[in-house]
Each structure stands twice: as C-alpha cells, then as structure tokens.
Chain A
Amino acid sequence: MRIEKCWFCSSAVYPGHGIQFVRNDAKIFRFCRSKCHKNFKMKRNPRKVKWTKAYRRLHGKDMTQDSTFEFERRRNRPERYDRNVTENTLKAIKTIDKVRSRRESKHIERRKKGKKGQQMREAVKELEQSISLVKAPAILREDPSLTLPKIMVKVSQAQESQRMEE
C-alpha cells in the first residue's frame, strides 16, 4: 500500500480514495477528491489556483527547502523487513513531524513579520510622495503639521531651508 500525492493539490491520497485518470501516454493523474478532479477537467493550472500546495510553494507561502522533506521520498526498491528498523522508523516519524511543524510555523511567522514592515514602509512612502494629491504643496509648505511627524523629526533644519530656497 502506498499513500500517493494528489496531482492537483498535492495532498495525500489514501488507498480507496479519489479517482485516477490514465492518459494515453500512460501518465497517471491521481486526484484526492472530486474537487481536484473537476478543477483538472476545467484545465486549471494548480500553480495559479490559490488553495493548492503548488501555488503556496511557488509564492513562498510555505517552506520549500528543508531537510525534513528528504525523509519523504519515493523509493521503488522494496526494503527488506526488519523489526528493529520498522520500530525506529515509527519513532522517527513522530519526531520528524514535530520538527517539521515547528519549522513551518516559524517560517510563517517570519514571513508575516517581513510583510508587515514592508507594508508600513510602502505606506509611509506613498503618503510622503502623493500627499500633494490631497493637499496642495503650497499649503503644506505653510503648515508642515499636515505631514508625518516622523519625517519632521528626521529632516534636519538645514535641509528644510534648502528645499525652501529651491
């Protein structure tokens, strides 16, 4: 028994679940549920559908490179049964899973943090650049309290005077 991966959403296809489509060149497309099968029939690209694993990997939402992924690999050579090895593998699965979930949560945390800072910076920049759309530049020059106070602290007196001269 083998737990396959869904062609569309890359989730696990357990035995007895889903449908598989065999193309005439003998390529097998496995689907975990009718949702994925229907999306395939609609000729959707899994890289462009937001809920699939492929999209999330492509857009840096999920962790892509990690040593824990190395354990989950397709092996076509059957392993000779050994009770000890099986026992150790079963133990290892739990720890590996724990490590991976921790790393994934950390990855998501890091990703969210980076986005927040960037958004803030972008917002500040936009405000700085296009405040003239809301208030005329002449008024701004007269009443500097309308601009961001942060920027007011940053800008030194000498620069201010220079800009006025221009």
Chain B
Amino acid sequence: MAAGLASKWSRVGRSLLGGLGNNLSNLLTTSHEMACNNSLSQQQRTFIQMRTVLKVVDNSGAKKVMCIQALKGKKGARLGDTIVASVKEAHPNGKVKKGKVVYGVVVRAAMQRGRCDGSEVKFDDNAVVLVDKQGQPIGTRVFGPVPHELRKKKHVKILTLAGHIA
C-alpha cells in the first residue's frame, strides 16, 4: 500500500513539474524567436540607382557591375529596365573587361514590381544581363529565372536563352 501510494505521489509530482518545464521552455523559445525576427528584419528594397552593384547572370565575362545611370525613370531602374553600368569585377579572359561601360537589362530585382494583372513579383537579388546598344545580349547563356515581362520590353532573345521563366 505504502509503495503504491509513493509511486502515485511521484507520478503526480513529475507531471506537475513537467507541465511547468514545458511552459517555461515555450516562453523561452517564443521570446528567442521574437529577438531573431527583430534582428533579421529585412531592409527596405528600393530602385536600382547610381552605385547599385548588380550580379551579372550571363557568360559575357563580367561578374559584378555598378549601375551608373538608369535609362528610364526619375528614381531609378526597376525590373526589366535598361541601365548603364561600369564593370567592377570580371573573369580574366571574358568578352567584357573590368572598367568598361556597358548596357544591361535588369532581369531580377529584389524590389517588387506590379504585374499586368495587379499582382506583384519580386526576386532574391538584383541581377543584370549585359546587352549592346541595340539590345542584343553579349553573352550566349542566361542563368536563373527571368520574368516574362521582358517580352513586353522586346528582349525576346534573353527569354529564349533563359532556363526558367517566372
């Protein structure tokens, strides 16, 4: 009898303690998550303007370019717009050398852009495909997803080279 009672007691005690422990841990995790969210809150994404550094996603030879002029728009360039850029990083023996001034089409932008049906689209990073003055791409391949809005901007060549169209 005594043994049975003792076991019952211990079980109840454990369950009580366990409940407390769970509550405590839950509280702790929630507070921790909140802190993480505050620190990870993303920056406000904005236009591609002068001194924006963009990734080059073709095989023209350039790796990174810096925007020096947006050809359209007062505030800057958005998804699908053409920019003038200077090559900041380049592969050693590519078509495009470091320091050259090139034209490029913004194929991915982190700032959201309205679509024709009213919804919005945004991408992971800011990326550009280098083109010549006539709008023909310099490279022969395009990496990563590109938006279908490029068709409206008459960059069909980039769309055909791209693997994924979003």
Residues of A within 8 A of B (CB): 13, 15-24, 26, 28, 41-43, 129-130, 132-133, 137, 166
Contacts and interface: CB of A to CB of B under 8 A. Distances in A.
Nearest to A1: B117
A23 B12 contact: no
A22 B124 contact: yes
B5 A20 contact: no
Interface in B14-48: 37, 40, 42
Nearest to A133: B12
B119 interface: yes
Nearest to B147: A22
Contacts of B1: 166
A43 B121 contact: no
B5 A22 contact: no
A26 B144 contact: yes
A21 B8 CA distance: 55
Dominant SS at the B interface? mixed
Contact of B166 (A16, A26, A43, A129): A26
Given A19-B112, A41-B42, A129-B8, A24 B144 contact: yes
A164 to B, nearest CB: 10
Given A19-B112, A132-B9, A133-B12, 8 more contacts: A17-B118, A17-B119, A18-B119, A19-B121, A22-B124, A24-B144, A28-B166, A130-B12
30 contacts: A13-B119, A15-B118, A16-B117, A17-B118, A18-B119, A18-B120, A19-B112, A19-B119, A19-B121, A20-B166, A21-B123, A21-B124, A22-B121, A22-B123, A22-B147, A23-B124, A24-B125, A24-B145, A26-B144, A28-B166, A42-B37, A43-B40, A129-B8, A129-B11, A129-B12, A130-B12, A132-B5, A132-B9, A137-B5, A166-B1
